[in-house]
Amino acid sequence: MKEETTLVEEKLGMKDDLEHGKELANRLMKDLKNPFSSKESNKSLISGILRSYENAIVMLGLDQQTLKRRSPERMDQRYKKRKNGPRKLTYVLEQDKKELQLDDGYCWRKYGQKDIHGSENPRGYYRCTHRFTRGCLAVKQVQKSDADPSCYEVKYLKSHTCNVNLSTTKSSVVSVPKEEPNNVHELHVAEQSVDIIKHMKFEETMLSLDDLENKNEIFRTFSFSNLETENITGRRNLMENLSPTTTSESGITNELLSASSASVVNSPADDSCFTSLENILDLSYDDWSLI
C-alpha cells in the first residue's frame, strides 16, 4: 500500500503540473492573438503544456503502461500468496555493497535482480527514486563484468526527468531522439583509474558513434571499475563526464550525441525534457503554422 504522505506529494505534484499546463495554455492563447509572436515560442509553450500533462498522467498512474500492468483482473491473478511461504533473506554481500556504492549522483532504487543466462553475475535493476513522485522514468541496469570482476557494466535506459540536481550537476540534460530501449548505444569504459578512463573516452566514443549511426541509438552503457574510496571524488568527476545526464560543457557524451543529431536542452531546471514529446514536436514542426 502506498504511503499517505507519498500520495499527498503525488497529488500536489499533479496539481502543480496541471496548473502549470493551464498557465502555459493561457500564455499560448495570448501569443496566438499576437501577430508578432514567434513560432519558436509557441512551439516551446506547447511543448511545455504537453510535458505538464504527461507528467500529471504519469503521476496519476494512468499512463498506458501502468494501466495495462495494473488492471484489476491482472492484480487478482498475481501475487496472492507466495507458494513457498516466508522466505529467508540473505545479507547483502560485500561485493554487492560495492555495487550499491556505484553512485552516479542520482537516487536509485533497486527493484529487481536476475541471473542472466550465460553470465556469472546477476544483473541488478534500478529505477529512479522519483519514479512515482515526479514521474521520472530513468532506469539503469548494473552487472558485474564476468571478464573483470572489478568492473561493472552500467546501462542507462531513459533520461532523468525528475530534475533532481546533483550537487555537482551543472546545467544541461541531454536528450536523444527516439527513446526506445531496443536501440542500444554502448559506451564501454573499463579502466582502473580516472586518468586512464579519461584517456579512453575518445576512442570508445568513436566506436560508439559507429554503432549509433547504425542503430539509431538511445540507451547508453558504461562500465567502470570499483574505484577505491580515495578515488570517489575522481569518480564523481568522471561520472559528470560520462553520465547520460552529463553536462554540456564537459561531456564527451554530449559531443557524441550532438554528432548524432541529439538535442541538448539548456537546463533541467526549466525543462524536464521529455524526449518523446520533443520527437513529436520535431516531426510536426512544419505544421506549427497551422496552429
Partner DNA sequence: ACTATTTGACCCTG
Partner DNA sequence: CAGGGTCAAATAGT
Using CB under 7 A as the criterion, which residues of the chain lie in contact with DNA when the complex forms? Answer: 3, 5-6, 66, 68-70, 74-75, 77-79, 81-84, 86-92, 96, 100, 107-119, 123-125, 127, 129, 139, 141, 182
Minimum distance between the CB of residue 124 and DNA, rounded to whole angstroms?
7
Minimum distance between the CB of residue 291 and DNA, rounded to whole angstroms?
33
d(CA 14, CA 59): 6
Minimum distance between the CB of residue 276 and DNA, rounded to whole angstroms?
16
For DNA, give the closer residue by CB, 109 or 199: 109
For DNA, give the closer residue by CB, 119 or 192: 119
* Diameter of the chain measured on Cα atoms: 69
Minimum distance between the CB of residue 100 and DNA, rounded to whole angstroms?
6
Minimum distance between the CB of residue 158 and DNA, rounded to whole angstroms?
9
Q: Which three cell numbers stand for residue 226?
A: 570499483
For DNA, give the closer residue by CB, 113 or 279: 113
CB 251 within 8 A of CB 265: no
For DNA, give the closer residue by CB, 127 or 201: 127
Minimum distance between the CB of residue 272 and DNA, rounded to whole angstroms?
20
Minimum distance between the CB of residue 289 and DNA, rounded to whole angstroms?
37
From first CA to last CA, the distance across the chain in angstroms is 44
For DNA, give the closer residue by CB, 4 or 230: 4
For DNA, give the closer residue by CB, 66 or 260: 66
For DNA, give the closer residue by CB, 132 or 247: 132
Question: SS3 sequence, the chain?
Answer: CCCHHHHHHHHHHHHHHHHHHHHHHHHHHHHHHCCCCCHHHHHHHHHHHHHHHHHHHHHHCCCHHHHHHCCHHHHHHCCCCCCCCCCCCCCCCHHHHHHHCCCCCCCEEEEEEECCCCCCCCEEEEEECCCCCCCCCCEEEEEECCCCCCEEEEEEECCCCCCCCCCCCCCCEEECCCCCCCCEEECCCCCCCHHHHHHHHHHHHHHHHHHHHHHCCCEEEEEEECCCHHHHHHHHHHHHHHCCCCCCCCCHHHHHHHHCCCEEECCCCCCCCCHHHHHHHHHCHHHHHHC
